[in-house]
Structure 1
């Protein structure tokens, strides 16, 4: 399942097929507009240079924290204080709504600057930790990909960000490596 914080962190794109192409999508106007629209957030696009620098810094910190948690580290008080410092910049209110005949209380952001968007990203990450487990945060086993995702499978064995893309690619690579090794014998 795609999450706000993983979509944000994965804006640092690497060619999952093994090419050397990579790009920082965070600074691209098209990515910013798509991100804001997809998650129903508001901020001026394009972001200013200072906002882009802040976004990059928060993305890198979240990536580092997610990587540490995926390797079994525990959330430290310092990490918690950092997340709280980002989240406290958000503004909004709680709203009761009915979705598919079920009542739901949801947070509605009233801020329309990138700092408010970043507060939402940090809050989504914190919610993931509070409602799930940090150990379920994974880095795709395709070393070319590097995407971060949350393993919400019952068996806790998800290895790839996407079974149809990275999963199939890695199966093909293993098959070809076995065939090549068998031909050498």
Structure 2
């Protein structure tokens, strides 16, 4: 399940197949626009150099926090203050809106800029923690991938961001390593 915060954190792409290709998508205007459209957010595109720098720092710190939580490190007061600072920067107003299911009170952003976007990302991450689902935050077991994901499986045992890509790749790597070990370790009969 893709979440706003995982989509943002995973903008730092690394070749999951083990190649040396990587791409920091935060600086790509088309990625920025697609991200905003996908999550129904607004900000000027392209982001300024200063905004990109702030977003990179925020992304890297959020990724680090997610990885720490995924290995069982407790959430600290310092982490809480850091998230609160980012959420505070994203001012919202309450507005009554009509949805297909009926009336709803929505939090509507006051500003349309990247600070607001980071506030929404921080809020989505915080909601993951509030809902008690921080233990479902995972880092892909494929060391080449580096993606952070939310484990939405019933058993809470998902190891890879995608079983068909990283999962299959790692299965093939294990099989080949085992086969190589067996072929080197077998005694020949003479």
Offset at residue 104 of structure 1 (A) = 5.8
Aligned match of 2:155:
155
CA drift of 1:45 comes to: 0.6
Q: 1:102 to 1:132 in 2, by over 3 A?
A: farther
In structure 1, what is the Cα distance between the partners aligned to 2:4 and 2:105? 18
Corresponding position: 1:83 with 2:101: no
**Structure 2 residue aligned with 1:174:** 174
- Cα distance 1:152–1:182, how it changes in 2: closer, same or farther (>3 A)? same
Gapped regions of structure 2 (runs ≥ 5): none
TM-score, length-scaled by structure 2? 0.90
Q: Structure 1 residues 158, 103: CA separation in 2 closer, same or farther (over 3 Å shift)?
A: farther
Q: CA deviation at 1:163?
A: 0.7
Report the CA distance shift for 1:154/1:29 in structure 2 as closer, same or farther (over 3 A): same
Cα deviation, 1:62-118, whole Å, max 9, x if unaligned, reads 01111111111111111111101100111223445545x477654333420000001
* Higher gyration radius (CA): 2
**CA RMSD in angstroms, aligned pairs only:** 1.6
Is it true that 1:56 corresponds to 2:39 in the alignment? no
- Residue 113 of structure 1 corresponds to 113
Q: Identify if the C-alpha distance between structure 1 residues 169 and 106 changes in structure 2 by more than 3 Å, giving closer, same or farther.
A: farther
2-structure distance, mates of 1:38, 1:106: 18
* Counterparts of residues 13-162 of structure 1 (less than 5 Å): 13-94=13-94, 95-99=96-100, 101=101, 106-162=106-162
Distance in structure 1 (CA, Å) of the matches to 2:99 and 2:45: 31
Distance 1:103 1:141, change over 3 A: farther
Q: State the TM-score, normalizing by the size of structure 1.
A: 0.92
CA contact (8 A) 1:97 1:106 kept: no
**Mean Cα deviation higher: 138-147 or 110-119:** 110-119
Give the 3 Å change call, closer, same or farther, for CA 40–130 of structure 1 in structure 2: same
Distance 1:129 1:103, change over 3 A: farther
